[in-house]
Amino acid sequence: AEKKEEDAGKLKDLLALTKFIRLDWRLISLALVCLVTSTVVLLSFPKWFGKIVDSLKDLKPSDGEVLIMGEYTFLQFTGLCFGACGLFTVAVFGRVTILKLLGEKLISKLRSYIMKKLLTQDAEFFDKHKTGDIMSRLTTDAHMVSRSITSQIADGLKNSLFLVFATAMMFSTQTTLAACNFVLIPLTAYVSSIFGERLKRASKNLQKSSGSLSKVTEEQLNAIKTVQSFAAESSSLTKFNAETKGVFNAAKKETILNTLYIAVCNSAYFINYTVVFIGGTYFVHKGGMTIGELTGYFFYADFACSSILALTSFYGELMKGTGAASRLIELMRSDPVIKATSGDPVPSHIRGEIRFENVTFAYPTRPNNLIFENCSFTIPAGSNVCIVGPSGRGKSTITSLLLRFYDPNAGRILLDGVDISTYNVKSIRRALGFVQQEPALLPGTIYENLVLGYKPKDRPSLETIDTVAMKANCQFIHDFPDGYDTQLNAKGGSLSGGQKQRVAIARTLLKNPAILILDEATSALDAKSESLVNSEIARLISERGMTTISIAHRFSTIRKAKTIIVLGHDGRVDEMGDFATLYGNHNSALYKILHDHEAKKPVEE
């Protein structure tokens, strides 16, 4: 009962997704007309054939011109047959083409809608859903849903029409023989459904094993340098071979079940035909049916049997589509906790004072691991602050909270005295500039990456872009043959780590943010480049009164900050002050962090 309710719920989800093609009702109607037309033409063939056999059985070569079925000359009949074939061909072509177009249109609409939904989700959503799983839903699941709604439902309708019409013709031709056949056909369908269910489970296990093999393959190849540097090729191959063996075992089981299923179906066909031949011969001999009627009956029995077998597998295939639909519906119904468009806009001119008031926070996926507990501190407007602390104690979390990727569990974060939870998220993110330790550059040109987030009409001039890029020490752009039109591959892989960071810094400075957040943003730069970038940032702080927050481990970055905030293990601020005072005290938390550096690494001077 529970499985039936679950299947009904999944089917409801699948039907809910038909809204994306309901507006194409004209095309759907035309596809249905084509479906019914091709079905009627094909199902009328056995009846015609039977009548032809009966009309020709007593003819002799000397009878002159033959009237087929007592009405048509041979030429007329030939034209009629070719006309029926032409109508059938056009109807099948129309049905397949229309359903294919509707399917592709549905996939496109589904992916576009879900991608739009994903772009509005908050960080909590992506913490709970793996990227690979989301990509699988956007590609494989969307395709399966499209196939179920268009092709499979159409095939189910076609086979249902075949079954109903063929059954009616069988009983109207010879009731007793039809009853004998239909004792066997449901039994065949039942056995087929049992095999079909087991085959579906075996196919799922094979897909799961194949997915696991793909995952291991990707992991091993992505870490190939690490594997080779540790001479761990043998252990990697052992792990890969274990997964390969799992795929083979799953494939072997699926193959055996599949061949048994085919054998059962073929046996069912053979038994069904045997009953028709034996029973038909008997009834023809007794005068219960003509040879032509037996010929037509044979075709209808074949249609009925094949339709029932197709419908048993149709249900399993449809359930695959409903499962995929449920996974898509889950994405479509997921609403972000932090809505990107609600709230007031951030004022155009803000001073940039930041205040944490008794902030308590834990990541949604780790609710029992508090990062902050009643944490309070103030960053004055226009100041240059560096945040230091042990690993995992919330340095980067401060950035996530300021950008409202997450909201605190308790307490408030104030921007110029106003709780940032009252502000529009997009507005906050436009006011803040953020450079990550590993900056993400998107596939496209350097220019497109620099103007990321700008509407085409609002983009700064190339002269302005070049001025800012040079201040971020991006002279290397001029060395490329295509300059700012140089194409970058995924994650900016065609640039070095330092070049990527400089492009990311230029992109952020181009926004002219009121608050600049640098999360180890100069870690990949050499000393000269770091000095140039830091000098430009210092100038911007002086000229524009920009508030700068640096998250750093490097001694050279920390000592340049005017104020140091040291986070402790208890989720609060351990100490706060200027570098000289804190570092000059050998008992201070800052001194211990810089000298211990967790693994007693040498500190860069």
Strand-strand pairing, 432-435 and 384-388? unpaired
Q: Where are the beta strands (DSSP E) in 281-431?
A: 354-362, 370-379, 384-388, 410-415, 418-419
pLDDT at 367: 87
- Asked if 328 and 17 touch (Cβ cutoff 8 Å), the reply is yes
CATH number at residue 506: 3.40.50.300
Q: Cα–Cα distance between 492 and 392 in angstroms, integer?
A: 27
> How sure is the predictor about 24, in pLDDT bands with cuts at 50, 70 and 90?
confident
- Asked if 297 and 280 touch (Cβ cutoff 8 Å), the reply is yes
pLDDT at 358: 94
> How sure is the predictor about 558, in pLDDT bands with cuts at 50, 70 and 90?
confident
411 phi and psi, to 5 degrees?
85, -175
Same domain, 269 and 365: no
Assess if residue 229 is contained within a domain: yes
Assess if residue 349 is contained within a domain: no
> How sure is the predictor about 33, in pLDDT bands with cuts at 50, 70 and 90?
very high
Q: Cα–Cα distance between 407 and 420 in angstroms, integer?
A: 9
pLDDT at 602: 43
Q: What is the mean pLDDT of residues 347-364?
A: 91
- Asked if 319 and 7 touch (Cβ cutoff 8 Å), the reply is yes
pLDDT at 7: 57
The answer on pLDDT for 359 being more than 90 is yes
Count Cβ atoms below 10 Å from residue 25 Cβ, excluding itself.
9
Alpha helices in 525-578 (DSSP H): 527-544, 555-558
**Buried b / exposed e along 63-83 (16+ C-beta atoms within 10 A):** eeeeebeeebeeeebeeeeee
60 vs 476, residue with greater confidence: 476
Instruction: Provide CB contacts within 8 A for 326, sequence distance 6+.
Output: 9, 10, 13
pLDDT at 247: 87
> How sure is the predictor about 599, in pLDDT bands with cuts at 50, 70 and 90?
very low
The answer on pLDDT for 315 being more than 90 is no
Assess if residue 307 is contained within a domain: no
> How sure is the predictor about 437, in pLDDT bands with cuts at 50, 70 and 90?
confident
The contacts found for 46-50 with CB under 8 angstroms, 24 or more apart, are: 46/169, 46/295, 46/296, 46/297, 46/298, 46/299, 46/300, 46/303, 47/169, 47/296, 49/292, 49/295, 49/296, 49/299, 50/290, 50/292, 50/293, 50/294, 50/295, 50/296, 50/297
Q: Cα–Cα distance between 394 and 572 in angstroms, integer?
A: 10
Q: How far is CA 332 from CA 121, 323, 327, 365, 555, in A?
A: 11, 14, 9, 21, 47
pLDDT in tens, 464-491: 999 988 888 888 999 999 999 998 877 6
pLDDT in tens, 109-160: 888 888 888 888 888 888 887 777 788 788 888 888 888 777 777 888 888 8
Q: Cα–Cα distance between 589 and 524 in angstroms, integer?
A: 26
Range of the domain at 328: 1-173+315-337
Assess if residue 146 is contained within a domain: yes
Same domain, 148 and 70: yes
pLDDT at 392: 77
483, 523, 470, 528: which is closest to 501 by C-alpha? Answer: 523
pLDDT at 209: 81
Same domain, 319 and 384: no
pLDDT at 88: 92
Instruction: Provide CB contacts within 8 A for 124, sequence distance 6+.
Output: 336, 337, 364, 365, 406
Same domain, 226 and 132: no
pLDDT at 377: 92
- Summary mean pLDDT of the chain: 82
Strand-strand pairing, 432-435 and 515-519? parallel
∠ CA 489-491-493, nearest 5°, is 60
> How sure is the predictor about 605, in pLDDT bands with cuts at 50, 70 and 90?
very low
Same domain, 17 and 154: yes
User: How many CA atoms, within 13 angstroms, populate the side-chain half-sphere of residue 171?
Assistant: 7
pLDDT at 604: 43
563 phi and psi, to 5 degrees?
-130, 135
Assess if residue 605 is contained within a domain: no
User: How many CA atoms, within 13 angstroms, populate the side-chain half-sphere of residue 78?
Assistant: 4
525 vs 267, residue with greater confidence: 267
Same domain, 197 and 331: no
Same domain, 531 and 388: yes
Q: Cα–Cα distance between 347 and 76 in angstroms, integer?
A: 84
Worst-scoring range by mean pLDDT, 55-64, 504-513, 590-599?
55-64
Assess if residue 301 is contained within a domain: no
- Give the CA radius of gyration of the chain: 36
444 phi and psi, to 5 degrees?
145, -165
pLDDT at 369: 87
Same domain, 134 and 195: no
pLDDT in tens, 367-422: 888 899 999 999 999 888 999 988 778 888 999 999 998 999 999 999 999 999 99
The answer on pLDDT for 183 being more than 80 is no
Assess if residue 603 is contained within a domain: no
Same domain, 121 and 154: yes
Instruction: Provide CB contacts within 8 A for 371, sequence distance 6+.
Output: 361, 362, 363, 393, 394, 397, 571
CATH number at residue 23: 1.20.1560.10
pLDDT at 570: 83
Q: Is 60 helix (H, G, I), strand (E, B) or coil?
A: coil
Instruction: Determine whether 57 is exposed, middle or buried from the number of CB atoms within 10 Å of its CB (0-12, 13-18, 19+).
Output: exposed
> How sure is the predictor about 598, in pLDDT bands with cuts at 50, 70 and 90?
very low
Domain endpoint, select from 303, 337, 371: 337
Number of structural domains found in the chain:
3
Same domain, 165 and 187: no
Same domain, 154 and 191: no
pLDDT in tens, 191-244: 777 776 787 778 777 777 876 787 788 778 878 878 888 788 888 898 889 989
Domain endpoint, select from 271, 288, 305: 288
Return the DSSP state at 377.
E
Q: Cα–Cα distance between 24 and 385 in angstroms, integer?
A: 58
pLDDT at 603: 41
Assess if residue 296 is contained within a domain: no
pLDDT at 70: 60
Same domain, 134 and 162: yes
